[in-house]
Structure 1
Amino acid sequence: MSVIDVPLPDAVHVIIEADGDPRSATPAGPGRWTVPGAEVTARHQPDGGLELTLAAPGPPGLSKVALRWRHHPGGNRPALVLGDAWERSYGELQWRGIQPERPLPWYWLGTDPVVGTTAGFGVRTRAGALCCWTVDEDGTTLWLDVRSGGLPVLPGERELAAATVVGVAADAGTTPYAALQALCAAMSPDPLLPEQPVVGCNNWYYAYGKDFGPDAVLRDAATIAEYAGDHPVRPFCVVDDGWTEGGGSAPGGPWDVGLPGVFDDMAGLAAGIAAQGARPGLWFRPLLSRVETEGMRTDVGRPGRIPLDPSSDATLAAVAADVARFRAWGFELIKHDFSTYDVFGRFHPDTPPEMAGPRQQLADRTRTTAEVLVALYRTIAEAAGDALVLGCNTVGHLAAGLVEVQRTGDDTSGRHWERTRRMGINTLAFRLAQHNRFYAVDADCVPCTPATEWALNRQFLDLVARSGTALFVSVDPAARTPQADADLTAAVRLALDGGQPGGVEPLDWLATTTPRRWRTGDMNLAYSWSQPWGAWPLLPL
């Protein structure tokens, strides 16, 4: 297994206007290409990475750059190709044969199971561009989206640090999973990792933000503390959506008070959770407001649901003040959610070719959307101080190094096992290599509810606990039985220990989106994820 020196691209193409066609850039010396109004520079780094910088000093600015390599890393054409997702995954991550138009956000890995070789390219975390790859029979292309929202960026005289490309190549004997681990490590030289295993409870998948109050939260805190017993690592109790006015529908701020008449004393609630033996955590949606406020966007939104512009200094100041307030109340975990949706106006299932639509606008046209998002995540991280930060519906590749924990997949479910199978197991399998290389992976909660089969959920519970990734459980008191409590106690304590030594590894992931066979330590485990009728045929969930 080796990190390779990334060669210069064979050709560079530039898109100036957001809806324009690519223009072939002219070589202007080693590692330099130009078109009228823009310049692309590639510089080799001592560690083998290839740093890409862009210049576009005047209007109309710059939209995208495509860099083309007319070969594959490692020298062999892959038989199967794996990519990542723009933000959370939505059950779609999988190895496929070559599909030239398939967008592969952030990185790609190719393997040939017959020959046994695996290789791939990726970009370093916290890039200045929204980056995706395409792979065809003849080579690979890196697409750098440097727009501000959906419009060309106007960087002025500054040099725009777009991305640094890294690559790995493995010979026969190295598994594709080990190769992906090495690629993730090369992409993320400075991860921000939690000091202890992250384990806890979250009430969302049985309460769904409705009809709960401090008494229910404290009951959950007591339950998770009971499962943890006298373990020296204490679990979290996260208060999810529902603690503010308009709760249960992912409302916006202000975030300065709880729901009147119910959550009147948020500092007291945090202290009460701690008194039960758990660590208090809190959910919020930083980029949505219920009232007009400074920094709000004028191009989207409606009364009562007003997105905030993350390129605005006023917005960042307000977000920082919110996070600092939560910390002052005594919350030790801050879960920030929905910022990708509030910037782009949509989620990104099935991996669309780009994140932003053509007419979306940010107030600051001098910075790329990627740069604006990184600044938002940095603001939250700095305001959180020593509190743990969990990103949800954030762009993980841009948040790495600025969150300790990342929700890597779309929601599991306390109502439909099919959603947990499709989302939770898929993201655990295909993003597990990011664990402790980008951040601690959170595949989302394991529900224990009357509406879902415990025989299936307990398998998911067992796998997550063994993996050493973040384990959150959502336990409906009505679903507690002696068997469920015993299963949850064993899993919580294993997860608090850090999981099975050596973690887990998917074994059949080349052939399925939800692997059933896993290696853990010196054992091979087999799980069955199917309900009696199998899986719903692409039922919208």
Structure 2
Amino acid sequence: MTGAAALGLQAAALDWGAGASAVTNHIHHSKTFLDILRPPDHARVFTDGGEHELTQSEGAWRWEDVDLRATPSKDGLAIALAAPKSHVQRVRLRWSGVLPTDLRVMGDHWERSYGDLEWRGISPERVLPWYCATHGGDVTHAYGVRTQPGAFCFWQIDSSGVTLWLDVRSGGVGVALGERTLEVCHVVSREGKPAESPHQALKEFCVRMCPAPRLPSEPIYGYNDWYSMYGNATQKTALAAAHQIVDLSPTGANRPFVVIDGGWQPDGGCEGDVWDHGKAAYPDMPGLAAKIQEIGGRPGIWVRPLSTSAATKEVFRLKHNPAVYDPTVPGTLEKVAADIARLRQWGYGLIKHDFSTFDILGRWGFAMGAQLTDDAWTFAEGPRRTNAEIISALYRTIRTAAGDGLLLGCNTVGHLSAGLFEMSRIGDDTSGQKWERTRRMGVNTLAFRAAQHDTFHAIDPDAVGLTRDVPWALNHQWLDLLARSGAAVFVSLPDETVTPEQAKALKAAFALAATLQPIGEPLDWMTTTCPEQWRFESGHANYQWSEPGGAWPFTV
């Protein structure tokens, strides 16, 4: 490992006749930035009955009872929708203009990322959730929607303009707004500056998208049992790990977390409906939290708030997915609130809540695409609210119930949770069994979502699975990157004692992780999905992420 010493465009001129000048007038002198903070050039609505072009009239876009408003403000463009009779599924907005064909384009993901974020050339059909950035002529521009919107929003980029799709469905059908007006989203953009790096430009844009993030008061680091125990931990192993992690941590006021992940609950694994006591291997959950604190750690715990069990009454189940609670059924949010509040009362200061996006929409982020969820299903309350509104209501319930506790969302929608949760698990699982999974999921998500750190939330790129199944030389680099990057650092330790070399590296990593430092910046991310060159406050580092046989081409 080298450099890891800290731990031991021009636009093409197309002759379109008289209409060309009207289009190109919206392109800034930089020739790579399109002004979208104005009413769109085209708008189309998709209802349960079909699709219809909207007609612009008196400051609004209309078709029958559908009324779409795009109102410019000093810092963006507010989109509002009214449709007293029609059930609206989607709205498509289009800003026309000539963009260079050699732009590089990057987007985000619906929830966690899956090792698939990247800069690449223009792909007109590519779905770019929440925001996107373009790079050309050494300048990086960005287009997006402000956090906590009322719809699921995605972008498309092509050489003729920028498109924004607004998914306002409720379940898999059109939303029935009735007499209310939906505040769909607030469009924002940022024109880049020639002297800034793409990472710097994106970080500044994240600030613009999320004006009021909720952040932890101190950097987050410590232990998570999943990647060494995979649901087979016990109260005894948790206490042993607490002693081990405290011994490896600095002695300052910022103490390490000891997070009890899935498997403590009576149902075990990743399932569960009962969260008021532990299984036999966890006889005293409040007592365990108290003992972790006595040892010198901070207790954390995992929960899957919408999971059902065989005993769950049918009335509470989501008809689209009976394995989970319907968040619109009276009593569901009250149960969720009671479960979260109980974990806090037990003494767990960090609550990691998981699976809610998959549980509600029935798909992982990599399978959502433009469709997001299956067609034709509804919540128990009927199509009165959008999916974004229903998920946001769940998040607000969890936030209120947690009080002053820290919330770590996993498989949650960052654009809906920003400002509510202090932390976000930004990528799919790393591994204590296969290095390839850590390389693919961990490095990619940290590089391409680093700009969200301390702008949306504190980011958690996931843990170092420090086991015998993963080569230490590779895990050592991953640990080094996490510690120097400024992101959260969690480690899963094996039952057996770590080696002296590993202990030395862990002590150095935790000493860095316990202190506030700027997020690391990937330098070669324009040309690879797995950046090896990084810049930190402490200097540069070059990593080698591949195993001797290279990357694994199959699903991991």
Q: Which TM bucket (shorter chain)?
A: over 0.9
**Corresponding position: 1:251 with 2:271:** yes
Determine the structure 2 residue equivalent to 1:363: 380
Per-residue CA deviations over 1:23-71 (Å, capped at 9, x if unaligned) read: 11001112x100123110011122x21010001112x411100000002
Q: Are residues 1:288 and 2:307 paired?
A: yes
Residue 413 of structure 1 aligns with which residue? 431
Distance in 2 (alpha carbons) for counterparts of 1:158 and 1:145: 17
Question: In 1, are the aligned partners of 2:36 and 2:95 still within 8 Å (CA)?
Answer: no
> What is the Cα deviation at residue 231 of structure 1?
2.0
Where structure 1 has 5 or more consecutive residues not aligned to the other structure, the ranges are none
1:326 aligns with 2:343: yes
Q: 1:56 aligned to 2:78?
A: no
Q: Aligned in 2, Cα 1:415/1:81: closer, same or farther, shift over 3 Å? A: same
Q: TM-score, normalised by structure 1?
A: 0.94
Cross-structure match for 2:14? none
C-alpha displacement of 1:264: 2.1
Give secondary structure in 1 for the equivalent of 2:411. coil
Tell whether 2:519 aligns with 1:503: yes
* CA deviation after TM superposition for structure 1 residue 359, in Å: 2.5
After superposition, the Cα gap between the structure-2 partners of 1:3 and 1:14, relative to the gap in structure 1 and judged at 3 Å, is closer
Q: For 1:259-292, what per-residue CA distance to the aligned partner results, in whole angstroms no more than 9, with x for missing partners?
A: 1x32221110110111111000110000111122
RMSD: 1.8
* 1:481-501 deviations in Å (ceiling 9; x for gaps): 0001111110011000124xx
CA 381–236 in structure 1, closer or farther in 2 if over 3 Å, else same = same
Q: In the alignment, is the contact (CA less than 8 A) between 2:318 and 2:379 conserved in 1?
A: no
Counterpart CA distance in 2 for 1:196 and 1:344 is 33
1:540 aligns with 2:555: yes
Q: Does 1:242 align with 2:263?
A: yes
CA distance in 2, matches of 1:21, 1:119: 35
Residues 134 and 22 of structure 1, relative CA distance in 2, 3 Å threshold: farther
Q: Within the alignment, does 1:28 sit opposite 2:28 as a pair?
A: no
**Residue 185 of structure 1, aligned match among 193, 204, 207:** 207
Which of 39, 45, 68 is equivalent to 2:67?
39
Q: Could you say which residue in structure 1 is the equivalent of 2:237?
A: 216
* 1:203 and 2:229 are equivalent in the alignment: no
Pick the aligned partner of 1:128 from 147, 150, 155.
150
Match of 1:161, as an amino acid?
E
1:227 to 245, 248, 263: 248
Q: C-alpha distance in 2, partners of 1:3/1:468?
A: 33
Q: Which runs of 4+ in 1 moved over 6 A?
A: 1-5
* Partner residue, 1:276: 295
Amino acid at match of 1:251: E
| Alignment-derived partner of residue 349 in structure 1 | 366
Cα offsets for 1:325-346 (capped at 9, x unmatched)? 0011111001100001100112
Find the residue that maps to 1:349 and give its secondary structure.
helix
1:159 maps to what in 2?
181
SS in 2 for 1:63: strand
- Counterpart CA distance in 1 for 2:315 and 2:181 is 27
Which whole-Å CA distance do the structure 2 matches of 1:83 and 1:516 have between them?
A: 20
Q: Would you say the 8 A contact 2:215–2:422 is kept in 1?
A: yes
Q: Indicate how the Cα distance of structure 1 residues 353 and 459 shifts in structure 2: closer, same or farther if over 3 A, else same.
A: same
CA change 1:170–1:107 in 2 (3 A) is same
Q: Does 1:69 align with 2:95?
A: yes
Tell me whether 284-293 or 193-202 shows the greater mean CA deviation.
Answer: 284-293
**Contact 1:86/1:105 (<8 A) preserved:** yes
Tell whether the 8 Å contact from 1:83 to 1:108 is kept in structure 2 after alignment. yes
Q: Contact conserved, 1:295 with 1:313, CA < 8 A, in 2?
A: no
> In 2 relative to 1, CA 319–295 (structure 1 residues): closer, same or farther, beyond 3 Å?
farther
Shift of the alpha carbon at 1:477?
Answer: 2.8
1:404 corresponds to: 422
Structure 2 gap ranges (5+): 1-29
Aligned residues: 523
2: distance between equivalents of 1:474 and 1:71? 50
Give the TM-score of the pair, scaled to structure 2.
0.91
The corresponding residue for 2:20 is: none
Q: In structure 1, which of residues 102, 106, 109 is the aligned counterpart of residue 133 of structure 2?
A: 109
Partner residue of 1:171 out of 193, 198, 201: 193
Residue of structure 1 in register with 2:10 after alignment: none
1:359 and 1:276 map into 2 onto residues whose CA distance is 53
Contact 1:25 1:34 survives alignment (8 Å): yes
